[in-house]
Each structure stands twice: as C-alpha cells, then as structure tokens.
Structure 1
Amino acid sequence: MTQQRHKILLLDNGKEWGGGTNSMLELLKRIDRQWFDITCCFYYNYARGEGETIENVLNSIHIPVIFIPQRKQPGWAKISKEVARAFLFFSKSGRKKITASIDAQWRIKPNAMAIRERLRQGGYDILYMNNQPGSNLEGYLAAESLDVAVVQHCRIEPVMSPAITQIVNRVGNAVIAVSHGVESVLLNHGVKKSLCTTVSNAIDIHQPLPSGQAIRQSLGVDDSTFLFGSIGSLIPRKSCHHTIEALHHFQQHHPDAKWKFVLVGEGAEHEKLKRQAADYGFADRVIFTGFRNNPLDYLAAFDAFILASKSEGLPRVVLESMLLKTIVIGSSVTGTAELIDSGRTGLLYPYGDTVALASHLQQVWQDGALRDVITQRAYQHVIDNYAIEHYVAGVEAVLGAVKPTRNENV
C-alpha cells in the first residue's frame, strides 16, 4: 500500500524562543520531507540573540512560514477584566471564567477564523500544534468544522480545565506528550487514553561537544572557582530566585568558598534577580549574560547546572547537561524528575525547598568524586535513551497515522 503524503500546517502561537522551539526545529530539520509537507504558521516572528529570527531559521531549512498578525488587547476587554476583578474579588474561579470569555471574544475566535481560512486555502489535512491545549484553543476551534486531523504536541506540563479537556476529546485526533509525566497529567484531567502518546524529548547525541574553557576565560573565571549555572528564560516559572536564595544559605555556611553563579537568558525577572543578589551581598558573584546562541558552551563551562523550575515538560537542557557531563541539580517536578534518578544521574530536591537545594550545592561543591560518578551515569543514560532519532521517528509515526475523525458524544 502506498503511503499518502501529508500536508501539515504547524501552528506555534508563542512569543519567545524556548526549549520547545528548539525541539520543534530539530524535528523540522530531520522529518522525512518525502512524506510530510509542512508549512509553519506563527503569530510572532520572535528572535533569539544576535538578531536571528524564527523566520530566518525556517527559511534556512526550507520550511515555508506564514504569520497571522496580532492586535493589541482592545480597551473594552481591559476595562471588562478590571470590572470583573472588582465585582468578583471573592471568586477566583469566577474571575477566570470571565477573563476566558473576554479573551475568547477579542483574541481566540478571530484567530480561529484566520487559521480556518488558511487550512481551507492550503488544502491541509493535519493541523499540528506546538504548545499545550489551553494555549492552542483557537486551533481546535478552527479545525472543528473541517476535514482536518488535529495533533497536539504538549511540550510542557499542561494547565487543564473541564472545558479544555472536553474540546481536546471532541476535536483532537492525537496528543503527543513530551514525557510520561505530562501524559499522566493529561489523563488525570480526563483526556482520552486513546488520544495520548508519549514521545520523549531528545537531543543529538552525536553533535560535537565544546570544552567550555573559552567561556570560563571570557567570564574571568579561573579553574579554582566553582561555577554554578542556570540557562533559561528569566520568568517566574523558572524560579531562579530560589537558586539565589539557596546560594545565600550556601554562602552563610561557607563564607570562604570561591564560587560564581551564571544566569544565561533574559526575561522580566532580570532586575528583580539582580536586586536579590545585591540584597544578599554577592552581586559581584552573579553574572547575567542575556540570551546566548551557544548554550552548550556555557553548560560545558559550568561545574554544576541548576534547574529550579516550578514545572517542566521534559527539559532538553537537562539532557544536554548530562551529555556534557555537567552535574544537574533539579527541582522534583514533572519532566525533570523523569530524567533524574536522584543520587545516580543527578540530584533532586522538593520544589521551593531552598535549604535542600543549598545542601545539594554544598554536596557537589565539596565532592568531586561524587560529581564524576553521577555525571558518567547520566551521560550513559542519555546515550542509551534519548537520541534524537527516536524522537523524530515517534512524531512521524503519530503524524503518519492520524485521520480526521470526530467524537460527537463526548
């Protein structure tokens, strides 16, 4: 039987370049173009360091991209939300419902109409969405009345509600979870098991690996200085303030320790984090690099990598750190905890427990032999289980199997 070539519209309505973007690009670089004809649809031509935009990168790998221009929130919507907050101050759920209804009117429904028109004009048979169900509602609405299969790639622990679950079950044909933990969250919220498949995030295990020495020299960090580091957007979910608080505990117990902390990334929390470090009296030990196109060089330069996030899908940066044999200390949340066997392939601590995090900082600072044992096990774990080829094959299998069907009885 001859395999049919699938025409796919990939929807990404994000505003910033993150790990999910990189995973998507790794897939697009490798997907079999003989069987999958993909066009990307973005809301924003977002950028990363040195002026590189998503449009530039997609053009360089010969993936066509279209943009749906976004308008600013209208005044009536903003005023309506403020009124709802004032009158429903006693009901968090009530405020959420009103806000969702307002957003649906001015943003979600118009975007759904625009996406539907592009699906019709382009003759697409699959809408493939790169986020989480609650952030892609316009895609479900756009495809609901069309002969188009809907595939959701859920790249983070999703925020669900009964209404979101209902539309996923009614319209969706497949949901790809980046980790078993993410799939469990979907199932626990009532998403049909028949829709869900876990295709773990992965990385290129054969890529050339940097030494990190040049980065240490550029930062003015000598070999006798222990370099803690973190990479990611400086946003509340990443909880970098917990790491700085833990470093404060560490500094109190080891005032003579020679260390620095490097934060690679940019975001709304930048100034707040700078003030926090200054308040603790070690602003000179914390280095903010901004966004960098070469995160692997920084991971190779770190003596320990810290991921303090409140939630994750299956963080590629942990896999990359393991590949580079840099020890990982992570909060025990969905995704991160799936990658790390604490004490064997990294160290975990309860999210928000900065005393426990400080204890791990002390442990890796003091015990080089422990770091060596753990990083060797972690490296082998990545080599054995998280090669990019498995990830691409898994996504291709889902995209190749879906057909547009609707369950009207849900």
Structure 2
Amino acid sequence: AAIDIPLLILPTRHQPWWAKLAKELARGLLPWRKPLRVAAVFRIELAWRIRPRARALAELLREGGYDLLYMNNQPASNLEGYLAAELTGVRVIQHCRIEPRINTVERDIINRIAHALICVSHGVRDALIRQGVRRELCHVVHNGIDTRQPFPELQPLAGVVSNTPVIGTIGSLIKRKSVAHLLHAVARLPQDLTPHLLIVGEGPEATALRQLADELGLTARVTFAGFQKQPLPWLAAMDVFVLSSPSEGLPRVILEAMLLEKPVVASNVTGSKEVVVHGETGYLYDYGDIDALAAHLADLLRNPAKRQAFGDAGRRRASADFSIEAYVAGVTKVLEAA
C-alpha cells in the first residue's frame, strides 16, 4: 500500500577530469604511504563530490522547510547530509547499521554537527567511541522484526532427499560475507554426515563460490538459489542457519532465523554475538576458524533434539528482546529528544 511519502532523488555529479587526474596522481606518487594516500584521495572527494552535493541537498532542505534530517548506513557515506544540515541549521540524526571506520575529518564533522547517532548494536557504538565520537551522541537501538508474522511455507528443494538436514545461509555473495568458509567447513565434516547446503543470495563472488564447491566435491550437495525477493520460505527450509562474516552491525537475518526456530552458528563478531547466546540459541566461533565451525555443525547435525531446543530458545529470545515495537519505541525516543 502507498504511504504517501514524497521521494526526491539528487542526480549523481559526474567526476571532472581534474579530480580523476588528481586521485590517480595521489595513488601513483604515494603508493607506500597509505595514510597519506587515503587522506589525499578523501580531500579530493570532499572538494569535487561531497561539498557540491551538500549544497544541493541544503537547497532541498530549505525549500521543504524540514526540521530534521535522518540518515542511514554509516557516517562516511552521508557526509553531504551533515554538511547540508550545518548550512541550514537542520537537526541531523545518523542511523549506523554497520561497524564503521571513520577518519579524523569525518569524526570532527560528526562531533560538530550530529544531534544523535542511533547504533544498531553495542559493538557499533563502541567502535564509534573508540574512533573519537562523543559518547553522549551514541544511542543503542537494536534492530527489530515483526515477531507476530505467521510462519512461511517451506520452500521445497529440488533433488534433495526427504529428511536430509539442510545447512544454509542468506546474504550478498561478496568477499566480506566469507561464504567460502562455510563451504570449506561442510567439506571437512565427517564422512557419515552429508547435509545439503543452501546458499541464498547473489553477488560478485557467486561464480567463484560455485567453482569452489566443485573443487571441494560438493556440487551435488549445494543449491545456489540466487537472489530471492521473499527469502523466508528458503530460510524455513534450513535446519541450521550460518553467518560466517567478519563483522556485522546487528544482522536481521539472524533474528529471522531465530524467529523461525532455527539454531544459528555465527562468527563471534560485532552484532552477531549480541544476538546469539552461545550454547543456548546456537553457537559462536572465532571468525575464520573453519575447524570450529565444522565441529559446531557436526554437533548440531548429530543432535536433532539440540537443534530443536536451540530453535525454541531462539524464538523466545527474538520475540522477547527484538520486537518491532521495541525498535520503533527506541528510534522514536531518540528522534523526539533531538
């Protein structure tokens, strides 16, 4: 249903020739001085892209008579919003959804202009504070999900024998998600354990992951489902959900898995470790420790009762601590106080 919110899109500013040349010179003249190289490229970006977009956005803010600018993702990708807010006197709130990395210029802009930063996890908040963002600006509001939604119909998997346990993951197939770790872990399982692996998502690593599955002798036991507009039926088809990435903000997909009573195995990193209770709703392992990941998978594959117990506990935790109502209340509180 339409919600009657006007949408305005700022056109992308084409990179002028001098900016391209200046950035290439910075990269070529400072190949071994990464801090200087990064700083030089950032200054060029600030001059040709960020500040002009800030002026254009400021015009929209003035024309619309807006009181508050709410921005998503991370500060480094929203600098024009900060600068536009400063030009117009509009209050600005940043919703940080991933563990950010900011430079000193970005830190100073945040501390000078932001009225509040909503952090999806304590880990995201701590990362900002470590990098110099004022503590009093940072407010933790965990992501939430609709805990009253009905269970989806299970997606049937072609060619998978009935009662075969299914291990799965959902997400963009990019290097940062480390889906290759999951393939290696499944390949290291004892020979008597032959689960099916379901990978839902698309991205630049898709071809390489298919090749890796072939090299590991797993092709017949892996389904690459591609991007799915409605992923929950595919999640419902899994017996164990895995998230093997090196960092997260607060992964909503884990909450969805828990709501669907799936035990979760996740790397012990920012975000994931605030959701998964080790030994109660699933298992946490040190990122990159493929043997540990394989051991946790083997344990769950051998113990259907444990899978069920972890799944039940996960649903209770998701429903009690990560409801959409709690999320809306938390965000509203920060917005009203700004």
- TM superposition score normalised by structure 1: 0.79
**One-letter amino acid matched to 2:280:** R
Contact 1:203 1:320 in 2 (8 A): yes
Determine the C-alpha separation between the residues in 2 that align with 1:163 and 1:335: 26
User: Match of 2:296?
Assistant: 360
CA deviation after TM superposition for structure 1 residue 85, in Å: 2.2
User: Match of 2:97?
Assistant: 155
Determine the C-alpha separation between the residues in 1 that align with 2:151 and 2:13: 42
Contact 1:249 1:358 in 2 (8 A): yes
User: Match of 1:28?
Assistant: none
Where do residues 202-221 of structure 1 align in structure 2 (5 Å cutoff)? 202-212=144-154, 215-217=155-157, 219-221=158-160
User: Match of 1:16?
Assistant: none
Contact 1:229 1:304 in 2 (8 A): yes
CA deviation after TM superposition for structure 1 residue 399, in Å: 1.2
**One-letter amino acid matched to 1:147:** G
Determine the C-alpha separation between the residues in 2 that align with 1:79 and 1:358: 48
**One-letter amino acid matched to 1:381:** R
**One-letter amino acid matched to 2:193:** A
1:100 is matched with which residue: 33, 42, 52? Answer: 42
1:248 is matched with which residue: 174, 187, 198? Answer: 187
Determine the C-alpha separation between the residues in 2 that align with 1:171 and 1:309: 32
User: Match of 1:42?
Assistant: none
CA deviation after TM superposition for structure 1 residue 171, in Å: 0.2
Contact 1:140 1:167 in 2 (8 A): yes
CA deviation after TM superposition for structure 1 residue 72, in Å: 4.8
CA deviation after TM superposition for structure 1 residue 73, in Å: 4.1
CA deviation after TM superposition for structure 1 residue 69, in Å: 1.7
**One-letter amino acid matched to 1:87:** L
**2:51 aligned with 1:115, yes or no?**
no
User: Match of 2:234?
Assistant: 298
**2:161 aligned with 1:222, yes or no?**
yes
After TM superposition, the structure 1 stretch with the greater mean CA deviation from structure 2, 229-238 or 84-93, is: 84-93
Determine the C-alpha separation between the residues in 2 that align with 1:300 and 1:91: 49
User: Match of 1:233?
Assistant: 172
Show CA shifts across 1:251-307 (max 9, x none).
Answer: xx32x4332211111111111111111121222222222211111111111011111
**One-letter amino acid matched to 1:64:** P
Where do residues 9-408 of structure 1 align in structure 2 (5 Å cutoff)? 60-212=2-154, 215-217=155-157, 219-250=158-189, 253-254=190-191, 256-402=192-338
Distance 1:97 1:272, change over 3 A: same
CA deviation after TM superposition for structure 1 residue 222, in Å: 3.1
Query: Kindly, what percent of the aligned residue pairs are identical?
Result: 47
Secondary structure of 1:145's partner? helix
Determine the C-alpha separation between the residues in 2 that align with 1:300 and 1:345: 16
Secondary structure of 2:76's partner? helix
Any stretches of 5+ residues in structure 2 without a counterpart? none
Determine the C-alpha separation between the residues in 2 that align with 1:280 and 1:83: 43
Secondary structure of 1:261's partner? strand
Secondary structure of 2:88's partner? coil
- TM superposition score normalised by structure 2: 0.95
Secondary structure of 1:157's partner? coil
Distance 1:260 1:81, change over 3 A: farther
Any stretches of 5+ residues in structure 1 without a counterpart? 1-58, 403-410
After TM superposition, the structure 1 stretch with the greater mean CA deviation from structure 2, 76-85 or 288-297, is: 76-85
Show CA shifts across 1:86-113 (max 9, x none).
Answer: 2212111112112212222332122212
Distance 1:228 1:384, change over 3 A: same
